Amino acid sequence: MSLPILIKNQKVLLIGGGKVALQKAKVLKENKIEFRVVAKEILANISEFCDDIIVKEFEENDLKESIVIDATGNEEITKKLLELKKTKNFLLNVVDKPKFCDFYFMALINRGDLKIGVSSNGASPSVAQFIRDEIKKILPENIEEVLKEKKELRQKGIIDKNLTKLKSKLFLIGAGPGDAELLTIKALKTIKKCDVILYDHLISEEILELVECEKVYVGKEKGKHSKKQEEINEIILDYLKKGKVVGRLKSGDPFIFGRGYEELEAITKEGFNVELIPGISSATAISHLNLPITSRGVSKSFSVHSAHLRGNRVNLDWIEELKKENHTVVVLMGLSRAGHIAKKALEIGIDENYPVAIISNITRKNQKIIKTDIKNLVQHAKKAEKPAILVFGRVVDLKKF
């Protein structure tokens, strides 16, 4: 039988200077344990972990510590130590010899003040390490921050048992352009483990059918009543404070014109854990239509822009990029700005026959692509459905219509 305990402020004697000793020296150093090394031969890189090294054969008068690790693999030294235990008080660990050990090394996890040790009682260190690695995967990323906060309160005499910030988590989930089969495996798994999903009008019904938990609509649609970003942040926080795992479904990728970082910043500021699940952006999903975004000899680079800025302002700073040779420009949220775009393009000398594609509902069952050019862009934009993206460049001519 064994009882796991933490021993503080103890000095350790490590006997041995080979590879096994090196591994133990590294563990001791990582856990800020003071130790000495005694060995007849020492690997040079052990000195990276210990300053107190004596190069000599181990003798009885070297034994000054109350904890000893025998990493020599030398039976004679092990016998000497076992004999010394009859007259001296010290705890002994003989590496890979459980029957001679007073204690075992655990597979350790250190997260600030949190220390987790997994022991197989000497039966199988590899099994202990496996279990440790599995535990690592489920530890909240904000565990150190929460512990620091709890510690400060405890030092002030306040015992705070509220663990909401450890239970709660926000997932910013990239839902892709609409086709449920284009969700990443991680996105789908995450959706399944959420307590509540927040979504807007850009999330397809096909994807919403996969949601088994509570669904909350937080739509932000032009020309219709919608919630401000600050309101959405408050809704997220309200659920997190109740200990919920919240999924915020974002069309495309949350960090590509999805205001995902604003939500991440607002929530982490309140001390809650946030994880981003990337998604396929509609900007690159044009390949779904056999329309390449780059192609040798036609397009060697591409850029992605939003035509919509805060305060309902139009963004035309990217127009000059239409002059680049062998370059593709993808514009999101540009359909309602087609008039501004066409006018500015012609003003800076872009050929009126410059190819443009308008792609509505990309990857969805009702997707539609219209091939046009600068001079006819406004006319065709009026007929196109939202949401839509605009693709400018010679790659448009590669698509067979």
Cα 68 from Cα 58, distance rounded (Å): 12
Cα 180 from Cα 204, distance rounded (Å): 8
Cα 201 from Cα 247, distance rounded (Å): 15
pTM of the entire predicted model: 0.71
Which of the two residues, 105 and 346, has the higher pLDDT score?
Answer: 346
DSSP classification of residue 45 = G
Residue extents of the structural domains in the chain: 11-138, 164-277, 285-398
CA 32 from centroid of its chain's CA atoms: 28
Give me the pLDDT at residue 324, please: 96
Cα 181 from Cα 192, distance rounded (Å): 15
Give me the pLDDT at residue 5, please: 72
Residue range 290-344, pLDDT digits in tens: 999 999 999 999 999 999 988 889 999 999 999 999 999 999 999 999 999 999 9
Is the previous residue joined to 125 through a cis bond, with omega within 30 degrees of 0? no
pLDDT tier, 82 (very low <50, low <70, confident <90, very high otherwise): very high
DSSP classification of residue 14 = E
Q: What is the mean pLDDT of residues 348-365?
A: 96
The β-bridge partners of 277 are 173
Helix (H, G, I), strand (E, B) or coil at 249: strand
Write out the DSSP string of 209-237.
Answer: TT--SEEEE----TTS----HHHHHHHHH
Tallying the residues shown for the chain, one arrives at 401
147, pLDDT greater than 60: yes
**CATH superfamily to which 285-398 belongs:** Tetrapyrrole methylase, C-terminal domain (3.30.950.10)
Say which CATH class 164-277 falls into: alpha beta
Tell me if 355 sits within 8 A of 337, measured CB to CB: no
223, pLDDT greater than 60: no
Kindly tell me the sign of the dihedral angle through the C-alpha atoms of 387, 318, 289, 359.
Answer: positive
76, pLDDT greater than 90: yes
Domain 11-138 has CATH 3.30.479.10: no
Least-confidence region, from 37-46, 192-201, 212-221, 376-385 = 212-221
Please enumerate, as own/partner, the contacts of 191-197 that have beta carbons within 8 Å and a separation of 24 or more.
Answer: 191/247, 191/249, 193/245, 194/245, 194/246, 194/247, 195/239, 195/244, 195/245, 195/246, 196/239, 196/244, 196/245, 196/246, 196/247, 197/246, 197/247, 197/248, 197/249
